[in-house]
Structure 1
Amino acid sequence: MQRQSSYKDDSGKLYLVPTPIGNLEDITIRAKKVLTNADYIAAEDTRTSGILLEKIGVHNRMISFHKYNSKERAPELIKLMQDGATIAEISDAGMPVISDPGYILVQECIKNNIPVVPLPGPSAFATALIASGFDAQPFTYYGFLPRKSSEQKPYFKQMSDFRGTSIFYEAPHRLAKTLKTLASVLPADRQMVAARELTKIHEEFVRGTVSEVSDYFAENAPRGEFVILISPNTEEAKQLSWKELIALVNDLVDQGESKKDAIKKVAKEHNVSKNELYDEYHQG
């Protein structure tokens, strides 16, 4: 077990600082203060972040920290913090760690007993979720999906079955193709929202069925970064018979699962008593 006291002393710390996803007025007073006072700013893209920092009047030294150098750079940053430095980690936009390599640095700080101090702030998926019109509890956030259609389809099958809101990011040049794949898996009348350019001057929400939104972007060139939201599956779940449930258990056993694990998994997925399924399985 490990306990952390973030504000105990003036020793080295890692601050996770959200930055605006578009509108610069979304920078918080606290975020600006932390960035101003930090010894170093670890930035996913120093050029992009440099523009932001210049506009808010912060001129501290930046260190590049991105997915291609994170494993090599993390030990250097850990050493700086062990020597007493404070480091503010930022992504290109929004929350650090969300769809960026910040978690690697967080893990290393935890291993080395260096305090990690998170600041609240902007997040594109949360911003889109609260304006989507879909129930926000529960939801699943997938980040960026694989690029190949064959690799996307299992994710879309999960979204089709999920009884909560599903969220993922997509780049404009891949959006039409991704939505076409999505429409081939989900029911055509399932509701979805495509949100783009959030907090910016061209902010837009395109709402409709999967089929309607897919057709719209097939004819209208997408622009800007997109957050895609899929409405929950509200269909009544079909209650399978014991015979059907036992067949599912046997399928898992044939795939190498133990009988105990297979029964537990099927019972959980279909909301039935594990003990009752166990009894039915062994009686049959």
Structure 2
Amino acid sequence: MQVQSSFKDDKVGHLYLVPTPIGNLEDITLRAKRILSEADYVAAEDTRTSGILLEKIGVHNHMLSFHKYNSKERAPELIKLLKAGKNIAEISDAGMPVISDPGYILVQECIKNDIPVVPLPGPSAFATALIASGFDAQPFTYYGFLPRKSSEQKEFFEQMKPAHATSIFYEAPHRLKKTLKTLGEVMGDSRKIVCARELTKIHEEFIRGTVKEVNEYFAEHDPRGEFVVLVSPNEEQEEVLSWQELIKEVDALVAQNISKKDAIKQVAKSNKVSKNELYDQYHQQ
């Protein structure tokens, strides 16, 4: 067990997870700007992209590259700096660190080495899209970027299909049409989707409709910008059997030489009811 306190201790540095705007620079917080200015180093997914951002918000600091291709080699170097009392602010290209970027590797190493990890709240593309989607925000499942192969995507969509939660994933513009076609093959046209693009930017747009309607829209409009795709929850009501019907299922299994105990257990599990309740109902008949 580990209990972390984010108190200031000059003997060891702190890792600050600093969110950056997903488009509109006005979304930078005062605290984020201060931490980026005061940290000894800024670990960035892409130093060129982040360098432009820091320049625009008036932050001039020493940057270190930290991306998925060098994360395993760079993490020990950053841990060494943190142990020496240096503070590091970790940022991604846009939005929240760790989400769809390698920040979790550095966080794990900090936890192993008892180095405080301090998260700052801020912009997130999938959360921004979710609250404007019109879908129920509770619960939801975020999948990040899907596999590129259609066969592998189908597995994800098969998992999403029965979910009574809003499903969210990211997709690049040049792959969007193909992905939505695969989604339609699995989901049919019974579900609604929202494709949100260029969030917080000038050309922010939400395309809402059934899978078929959105596919038809993109047949006439080329996708541009990064997309957040949201799939509505499965609202089909599952059939709920009465106790008498469940008892008949148990009797049918018992007639097949299955013990009453195992039959009750099997029927309870397949119908998602309490095994103990079904046991009581069965023996009260």
TM-score (norm 1): 0.87
Secondary structure at the counterpart of residue 193 of structure 2: strand
Unaligned runs of 5+ in 1: 246-259
Q: How does 1:216-255 map to 2 (within 5 A)?
A: 216-239=217-240
Q: Deviations over 1:258-280 (max 9, x none)?
A: xx9xx69x82x742224568999
Render the CA deviation track for 1:199-225: whole Å, top value 9, x for unaligned: 000000000001111121122110000
Partner of 1:257: none
In 2, Cα distance between the equivalents of 1:19 and 1:131?
Answer: 20
Give matches, 1:164-203, under 5 Å: 164-203=165-204
8 Å CA contact 1:189–1:211 kept in 2: the answer is no
* Aligned position for 2:253: none
Could you give the per-residue CA deviations for residues 186-241 of structure 1, whole angstroms, max 9, x where no partner exists? Answer: 13031110000000000000000011111211221100000000111111113477
Counterpart for residue 94 of structure 2 = 93
Percent of matched pairs sharing the same residue = 77
- Structure-2 change in CA distance of 1:9 and 1:68 (3 Å): same
Runs of 4+ in 1 over 6 A off after TM superposition: 276-280
* Alpha carbons 1:17, 1:31 under 8 Å: kept: yes
> Secondary structure of the equivalent of 1:143?
strand
AA in 2 matched with 1:189: S
Larger radius of gyration: 2
Indicate the residue corresponding to 1:254 in structure 2.
none
What amino acid sits opposite 1:236 in the alignment? Q
Task: Give the conservation status (yes or no) of the 8 Å contact 1:95–1:123.
Answer: yes
Structure 2: 5+ residue stretches without partners: 251-261
Residue deviations 1:98-136 (CA, integer Å, cap 9, x gap): 000000000000000000000000000000000000110
Whether the 8 Å CA contact 1:176–1:214 is kept in 2: the answer is yes
**Contact between 1:20 and 1:26, CA under 8 Å: does it hold in 2?**
yes
Rounded to whole Å, the distance in 1 between the matches of 2:138 and 2:101 is 24
Give the distance between the partners of 2:18 and 2:75, measured in 1 at CA: 17
Deviation, 1:244, is 8.0
**Aligned counterparts of 2:171 and 2:232: Cα–Cα separation in 1:** 17
> Root-mean-square deviation (CA), in Å?
2.5
CA deviations 1:53-112 (Å, max 9, x no partner) are 110111111111111111111000000000000000000000000000000000000000
Q: How does 1:1-284 map to 2 (within 5 A)?
A: 1-10=1-10, 11-239=12-240, 267=269, 270-275=271-276
Counterpart Cα distance in 2 of 1:244 and 1:192: 38
Letter in 1 for 2:3: R
Structure 1 counterpart of 2:180, one-letter code: L
After superposition, the Cα gap between the structure-2 partners of 1:244 and 1:91, relative to the gap in structure 1 and judged at 3 Å, is farther
For the residue of structure 2 that corresponds to 1:201, the secondary structure is coil
Q: CA 1:270–1:56 in 2, change beyond 3 Å: closer, same or farther?
A: farther
SS class of match (2:97): coil
TM-score normalised according to structure 2 size: 0.87
